[in-house]
Amino acid sequence: MLVVLVVWRHLYARFPFQYDPQYWAAVFPLGMFAACTVEMAHAMSLEFQYPILRYLVWGAMAAWAAAFAGLVRAVVSKEQ
């Protein structure tokens, strides 16, 4: 759903692609969902989920890194 909303916002609705603090409202739950799902799979011995969870965790980390990079870029550009 997150990918669909990003595509709609920036490609269809033509919003400029710039940092917005509200991106953390999407990134944080994504990371928590990934972390909790990994812990649940460990607790319930659901080994078949491990390959899928690896992609979920890397996707959450990529989203967090993108939001953080946008934050750093916004801060640096305001200082100049």
Mark the ranges of the chain whose per-residue pLDDT is less than 70.
2, 80
The pLDDT value recorded for residue 80 is: 60
The pLDDT value recorded for residue 26 is: 84
The pLDDT value recorded for residue 78 is: 82
Rounded to whole angstroms, how far apart are CA atoms 1 and 4?
5
- Work out the widest C-alpha separation in the chain, in whole angstroms: 52
In this predicted model, what pLDDT tens digit does every residue of 12-30 receive, in sequence order? 888 777 888 888 988 999 8
